[in-house]
Structure 1
């Protein structure tokens, strides 16, 4: 088309587009009329030619998109300016409720966003998804556009239908510069979404240590509780983010704070087999014998999930091997009936007194409790030494 224009001028382009539009009635890829086609496939000259020849600036294609919406999504700043200069409706929306500014923010098209804002586009208009331009820009990590929107008065604490904020998105993505920009703009550092996740919890979940550090610097509540009453420390411990765990402990996170089912950070780390976190929590004073709502302990959880090293660490730091849960399970019975002989051996090696008791015990058929440690040891065919 550029070659045609160079040889024959602008008029022939219009003829070519007209021919293509005739075919386009049966072509789903060609959704609109001449102006849409010029905006998508042509140049600024083609668009001006269409407008100067009386084509309406506001036609909708078969999906309800105006030319301005189309080029805003594409990032064609030169054509956006032409359409605005010819009176295009800056607040037109797609069938899903997105404005041109929202589309530009989503796509990271800074020049387009700036043109729209300079033309007084509304900054906080949400789409049907509840996302404003600021939320869309934050969700996709477009820091420059976030800063631009804030300069033009966007509400920094806008929330989606799910209560998600721009800061939540920054923390999930690990975008430090974006998070700092929002916090410097007075974003609410402790504002949770509708499920209870605040920014620090989002950072803890993803293991973004530097984001967590910044949040704490700006006043994040280290002991706030989220879903199932879990703290950020509980979340970081479960997902194995040792650097975040250490940072939170240094910020005075409550080390034994349980969630709604009574499971502590230590329980979560032991269950998931995060050896370094188990060691760190124990060394910082976590209670190895803290019981959940069902009486389980970190030690029993380690046995249930075949976590050899956490089990070793816990026993060596005073975990009680005789504690029972509400169903009568001890760490030894759990290890045995879960089919983990290595764990059984380790438990008995760490409890020589239990080994000595076996020799003086009653015969197997006299033991009523089939989870009794003595019975387990005999069935395990352990060698009993004096």
Structure 2
């Protein structure tokens, strides 16, 4: 909610005093008149907000200067621990932030949420205020309670100028949050290719591992950001590096149906037969999620259609029992000669394994030659 609504609601209920009212609705002359008539510069309304906190959030630089000149406490806090500088940084009020910093406001005071003015400015993409705070000595690697940094925010937002400013100021390019997300992973998740390029230029670890041991390449592959995938591969990202469950970037791309990324990874040398901790493959994942084109690409580039997962599922049985006849047709058309002669095979009643390719072929009215 904006500051006017926030403080206006209080004053409609007469929760603030005359100075609060003058700061919100009046002019600089009205505020000076109140102060010259002996009204305290530091009254709190019933929610604990001083006039300086109110006008800092509103962005009223002229009133901020008057209050500071009359001795307002620059480090007063809201009930949630926010200082005037934090409120100004959050709202993008550059002139107010500059006045407060010139008056020696503390740059790194966090609120109860753990966010400092720098973190708030970065979270909302206020690059000019970030630069200003850094000029006044703000800690560039401040972290919130969750371990989030200003650079993390810049990478999530795709704010290139902000990221460059932070990196030029020696922000730690590889500092992860408490969940393991480093700046490059944040950029990979959101698909911000230019941010990723800048991070790599400043020394980001292309093969660092985050949540569930996922790399930036694994993340970009899963979320379909082909430009980022190519950039990471060009930076020597490990193409078959698995997560903790054994799933590789190729597996993720095939599962999600990102055709261009499957093609790119295969052409760059990804192993189409790499198995997960449960024995599954990118091919089986494509069959499970009805991904026709990834299935075609994988088979045409040597994926083994006979590989089984730990439960005995092959790509053919997965496609059939998942109810995807188009996939079954494609697999059978591209499958090499059957291991057994279908014509001489046992009857269906004698085939115990209901995932047996012979049984599937018969039920599907398809016969392929040996």
TM normalised by structure 2 equals 0.96
Moved more, 362-371 or 210-219: 362-371
Evaluate the alpha carbon distance shift between residue 22 and residue 224 of structure 1 in structure 2; reply closer, same or farther with a 3 A threshold. closer
2:88 paired residue number: 104
Cα displacement (A) at 1:31: 3.0
1:385 paired residue number: 369
Task: Show CA shifts across 1:48-100 (max 9, x none).
Answer: 00000000000001110000000000000000000000000000000000000
Cα displacement (A) at 1:360: 2.7
Task: Show CA shifts across 1:296-325 (max 9, x none).
Answer: 000000000000000000000000000000
Evaluate the alpha carbon distance shift between residue 340 and residue 25 of structure 1 in structure 2; reply closer, same or farther with a 3 A threshold. closer
Task: Show CA shifts across 1:22-66 (max 9, x none).
Answer: 999996554300000000000000000000000000000111000
Structure whose alpha-carbon radius of gyration is higher: 1
What is the rounded CA distance, in whole Å, between the counterparts of 2:11 and 2:361 in structure 1?
76
Evaluate the alpha carbon distance shift between residue 25 and residue 187 of structure 1 in structure 2; reply closer, same or farther with a 3 A threshold. closer
Structure 2 residue ranges without an equivalent (≥5)? none
RMSD of aligned C-alpha atoms?
Answer: 3.2
Evaluate the alpha carbon distance shift between residue 234 and residue 18 of structure 1 in structure 2; reply closer, same or farther with a 3 A threshold. closer
Evaluate the alpha carbon distance shift between residue 97 and residue 26 of structure 1 in structure 2; reply closer, same or farther with a 3 A threshold. closer
Task: Show CA shifts across 1:265-303 (max 9, x none).
Answer: 000000000000000000000000000000000000000
Task: Show CA shifts across 1:108-160 (max 9, x none).
Answer: 00000000000000000000000000000000000000000000000000000
1:256 and 1:287 in contact (8 A); partners too: yes
What is the rounded CA distance, in whole Å, between the counterparts of 1:18 and 1:161 in structure 2?
25
Structure 1 SS opposite 2:11: coil
2:215 and 2:243 in contact (8 A); partners too: yes
Evaluate the alpha carbon distance shift between residue 247 and residue 29 of structure 1 in structure 2; reply closer, same or farther with a 3 A threshold. farther
Structure 1 residue ranges without an equivalent (≥5)? 1-16
1:348 and 1:354 in contact (8 A); partners too: no
Cα displacement (A) at 1:367: 1.0
1:38 and 1:46 in contact (8 A); partners too: yes
- Alignment partner of 1:241 out of 225, 228, 238: 225
2:160 and 2:194 in contact (8 A); partners too: yes
2:41 and 2:70 in contact (8 A); partners too: yes
TM normalised by structure 1 equals 0.92
How many pairs align? 370
